[in-house]
């Protein structure tokens, strides 16, 4: 009881000092330990390395080919970090960790004057410790930066609607410009629709039009975003328009890309896991849907993102994060005083039980798909999920059960305890184990190639290509461009063990986790 009382006193009377340990735990603890994940982290990191290698800070390339997936901002941020600290998992992820931390802080300071302090603290905890936010806050991708900018934009949209000032209006257009430089049209579309609802729902459509088309605001937006788009169009011409705007924006919504299709109900199922361990509280929140003022604004912000991406033909869990900020604000405001004890703890307990038996589940999955590659992954998993993993997961489960059964503690503190435990487990155990399973072989193969197949003063370097896999982190770790094509005789290829046919046309020089480096010695 004294521990709970002391924690509550510290949270409520420590000023804003709780934010620093919170974001360090959520986004910086073990940040550089896991290997880079393919495909996304590998692609962003390899493109950043190639940007520095080429000295071209306008067009991004991936293994020698222009990469039009995203605009330039994240690459500039990663290049700045790598230039300052050297290339490593930590430096490549640092921009995401910093912007995710800023996202938490911005949300807390938005909530602080609009709800009781206890609830504002809870929304900061929720944002920092939700499962998917921890993942993207530790990932070398553009998503943490984009989510910060969308949140900043719509926070200032609300502030400007409450009390219009020129400075707030200019900030809105500044965030929009940076968002357009980070991800493109989606960073503008979401605030555009949500702000339209806010003004039109109060019969202020003329004010909205004047605000949206404010000439000084548009000048700020264009000053931030336009120069790079102009320079990129001058460098790449119509290929940039077709590759970025049509393929990676219009087609991503209208067609299934990269195998990421889904159903209309996809995000309904995914939502509780995206905000784990807070998914159970959605049951409490549904009863309080609606409302006026800021509640209506937050509900529409979340609902628009949820519905829009539910009807997209390309669906990924992190797309819903664009609308998670308002949802967590609503959860903290309406469920934070006294969250249901069972809804606060039991979902995390059930997930921990599944994770305890994850090695057996993976083994059963490989039985259903017994290819050499998946068998190699299973071998990696068995190395990473030994006694230590089982013991750590068991301790995590017991700690959650202790929180569930602990008498005489407020459910508010119980919920925070669950969030802290999950964050520790994800950062210290689960993410490193998953990274080892999926990426250890990629990293080791790249280091083998760097040490044994790279040109030195007394040795001619080998040509290495990538075929049958798309794992650009191999390029990052090897620090050399690796074209994606079939190998020619005399060249080395990085591939899956079962992809190289006929097998006697290749000599394997490295093999691990279902992946190989092999030299092609004869034509088929």
Q: In this model, does residue 520 exceed pLDDT 60? A: yes
Tokens 């605030």 belong to residue:
191
74-96 pLDDT, tens digit per residue, is 999 999 999 999 999 999 999 99
Single out the residue of 99, 93, 104 nearest to residue 130, CA to CA. 104
The per-residue pLDDT for 47 is 96
**Sign of the CA dihedral running 492, 493, 496, 499:** negative
The predicted model gives 480-507 an average pLDDT of 92
Judge whether 345 and 418 are in contact, CB under 8 Å: yes
Residue 269 tokens, joined = 């199922």
Distance CA 70, CA 57 (A): 14
Judge whether 325 and 151 are in contact, CB under 8 Å: yes
Report percent pLDDT > 70 for the chain: 93
User: Burial, 83: exposed, middle or buried (Cβ in 10 Å; 0-12, 13-18, 19+)?
Assistant: exposed
The predicted model gives 155-172 an average pLDDT of 96
Distance CA 119, CA 128 (A): 14
370-400 pLDDT, tens digit per residue, is 888 888 888 888 888 889 999 999 999 999 9
442-458 pLDDT, tens digit per residue, is 999 999 999 998 766 55
CA diameter of the chain: 76
Q: How many beta carbons lie within 10 A of that of residue 242, not counting itself?
A: 14
Tokens 């609503």 belong to residue:
330
Distance CA 170, CA 502 (A): 62
Q: What is the pTM of this model?
A: 0.92
Single out the residue of 320, 234, 276 nearest to residue 425, CA to CA. 276
87-136 pLDDT, tens digit per residue, is 999 999 999 999 999 999 999 999 999 999 999 999 999 999 999 999 99
Instruction: For the chain, give every domain's residue range.
Output: 68-337, 348-434, 452-520
Residue 13 tokens, joined = 């009377």
């Amino acid at each position: 009881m004294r521990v709970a009382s002391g924690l509550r006193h510290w949270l409520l009377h420590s000023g804003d000092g709780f934010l620093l340990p919170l974001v360090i735990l959520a986004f910086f603890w073990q940040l550089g330990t896991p290997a880079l994940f393919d495909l996304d982290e590998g692609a962003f990191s390899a493109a950043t390395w190639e940007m520095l290698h080429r000295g071209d800070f306008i067009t991004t390339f991936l293994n020698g080919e222009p990469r039009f997936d995203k605009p330039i901002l994240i690459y500039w941020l990663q290049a700045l970090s790598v230039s300052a600290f050297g290339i490593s998992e930590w430096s490549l992820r640092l921009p995401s960790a910093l912007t995710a931390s800023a996202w938490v802080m911005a949300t807390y300071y938005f909530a602080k004057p609009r709800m009781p302090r206890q609830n504002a603290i809870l929304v900061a905890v929720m944002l920092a410790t939700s499962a998917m936010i921890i993942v993207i806050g530790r990932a070398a991708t553009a998503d943490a930066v984009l989510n910060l900018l969308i949140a900043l934009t719509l926070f200032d949209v609300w502030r400007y609607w409450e009390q219009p000032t020129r400075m707030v209006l200019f900030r809105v257009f500044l965030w929009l410009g940076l968002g357009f430089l980070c991800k493109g049209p989606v960073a503008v579309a979401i605030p555009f629709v949500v702000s339209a609802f806010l003004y039109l729902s109060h019969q202020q459509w003329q004010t909205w039009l004047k605000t949206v088309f404010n000439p000084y605001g548009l000048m700020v937006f264009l000053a931030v975003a336009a120069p790079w788009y102009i320079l990129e169009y001058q460098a790449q011409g119509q290929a940039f328009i077709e590759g970025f705007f049509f393929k990676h924006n219009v087609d991503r919504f209208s067609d299934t890309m990269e195998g990421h299709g889904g159903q209309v109900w996809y995000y309904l199922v995914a939502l509780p896991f995206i905000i784990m361990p807070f998914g159970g509280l959605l049951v409490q929140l549904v009863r309080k849907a609606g409302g006026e003022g800021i509640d209506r604004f937050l509900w529409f912000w979340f609902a628009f993102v949820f519905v829009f991406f539910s009807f997209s033909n390309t669906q990924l869990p992190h797309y819903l994060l664009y609308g998670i900020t308002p949802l967590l604000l609503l959860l903290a405001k309406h469920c934070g005083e006294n969250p249901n004890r069972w809804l606060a703890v039991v979902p995390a307990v059930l997930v921990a039980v599944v994770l305890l038996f994850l090695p057996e589940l993976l083994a059963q999955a490989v039985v259903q798909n017994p290819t050499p590659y998946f068998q190699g992954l299973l071998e990696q998993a068995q190395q990473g999920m030994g006694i230590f993993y089982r013991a750590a997961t068991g301790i995590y489960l017991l700690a959650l059960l202790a929180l569930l059964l602990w008498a005489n503690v407020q459910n508010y503190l119980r919920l925070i305890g669950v969030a802290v435990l999950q964050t520790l487990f994800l950062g210290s155990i689960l993410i490193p184990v998953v990274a080892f399973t999926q990426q250890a072989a990629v990293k080791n193969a790249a280091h083998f190639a760097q040490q044994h197949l790279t040109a030195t003063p007394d040795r001619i370097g080998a040509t290495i290509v990538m075929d049958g896999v798309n794992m650009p982190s191999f390029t990052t770790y090897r620090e050399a461009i690796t074209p994606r094509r079939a190998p020619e005789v005399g060249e080395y290829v990085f591939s899956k063990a079962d992809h190289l046919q006929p097998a006697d046309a290749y000599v394997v020089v490295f093999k691990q986790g279902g992946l190989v480096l092999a030299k092609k010695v004869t034509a088929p």
